[in-house]
Amino acid sequence: MNDTPRVGVVTFPGSLDDRDALHAIAAMGGTGVALWHADHDLRGVDAVVLPGGFSYGDYLRCGAIAARAPLMAEIRSFAERGAPVLGICNGFQILCEAGLLPGALIRNASLRFVCEDVWLRVETSQTCVTAGLTPGETIEVPVKHGEGQWVATSEELERVEGDGLVVFRYAAEDGQLGDAFNPNGATNHIAGVRNAAGNVVGLMPHPEHAVDPDVGPTGGQPLFAALFEAALAGATA
């Protein structure tokens, strides 16, 4: 019986939230496993987190080079087997560049880097990180990015909205939507999306910076709790 999930965190050249992600996993009671982008080995983990940062200096496009890193081949098959994969910030950009999630992230509409706590409205509980949350509920987590404006082609946007692939929208604490609550101009206030199966999720905000009540909001806790559940379900399946 294995009741401590092993959650891998991938370090790419230029990742900077990998240690915070490992810290959050440990703080939430999981076992963090450091993974290296150039390996072909997921070290038997039950879930994978792609952390924030500026992989490859954001050269070409944010996440573009990292999306073609050797380990991404393993992560692609891991995701195709239904195992949980969470991309945060640069990790979200990488998943979009890898084609594992719809859309793309471009420069914030304000042209400014944003660094603040935001509220997110949960849009679906059908994912590996929102299984413990109710649609309409809001959580508070920080954002910190310069290129977080989620966009998609009109056909892709129709599919994302039509198929319920939106996981989080920027909102007020009471769930109300509005440009005032959208830090980057993201289309339809979209902060995070999922794949069709719900086992791959990406979001620009940082749940790994929101697990410790001593240093800020704790909106990240339910996401890691759900990720652990999904990891253990996969590990025993």
Partner 1 sequence: MTTYTFEVLVSLKPGLLDPQGKAVEGSLPAMGWTNVSGVRIGKHIKLAVEAADEATALAQVQDMATRILSNPVIEDFEVLEVAAT
- Active-site residue identified among 89, 96, 128, 147: 89
User: Is 27 among the residues that bind partner 1 (CB under 8 A)?
Assistant: no
Site string for partner 1, 105-124 (x = CB under 8 A): -xx-x-x-------------
Residue (97 or 208) nearer to partner 1, CB: 97
Helices (H), 82-220: 90-97, 154-162
* Annotated catalytic residue 208: yes
Judged by beta carbon, residue 19 or residue 107, the one nearer partner 1 is 107
Determine the Cα–Cα distance for residues 133 and 172; give it in Å rounded to an integer.
17
Q: Applying CB under 8 A, does 153 fall inside the site for partner 1?
A: yes
Does position 156 bind partner 1 by CB under 8 A? yes
- Measure the CA angle with vertex 97, ends 50 and 126; round to 5°: 60
Output the smallest distance, CB 92 to partner 1, in A. 14
Q: Is 62 a catalytic residue?
A: no
Q: Write down the residue that tokens 């891998």 correspond to.
A: 8
To which residue do tokens 């604490």 refer?
173
Smallest gap from Cβ 114 to partner 1, in A, equals 14
Among 19, 61, 76, 159, binds partner 1 (CB under 8 A): 61
The residue annotated as part of the active site, out of 37, 145, 206, 209, is 206
The residue ranges of DSSP E strands in the chain, in sequence order, are 6-11, 31-36, 47-50, 85-88, 104-106, 114-122, 138-145, 149-151, 166-171, 190-194, 200-203
Has 206 been annotated as catalytic? yes
43 lines the binding site for partner 1 (CB under 8 A): no
Residue closer to partner 1 by CB (options 63, 142) is 63
- Give me 42's structure tokens: 């997921």
For the CB of residue 111, give the shortest distance to partner 1 in the complex, in Å.
5
23 lies in the site for partner 1, by CB under 8 A = no
The strand pair at 138-145 and 114-122 is best described as antiparallel
If one asks whether residue 103 binds partner 1 (CB under 8 A), the answer comes out as yes
Supply the DSSP string of 31-77, one letter for each residue: EEEEEETT-S--TT-SEEEE--B-GGGG-SSTTTTGGGSHHHHHHHH
Cβ distance 109 to 149 under 8 Å? yes
Binding site for partner 1 (CB under 8 A): 60-61, 64, 68, 96-97, 103-104, 106-107, 109, 111, 149, 151-153, 156, 185
Would you please indicate which residues are annotated as catalytic (active-site) residues? 89, 206, 208
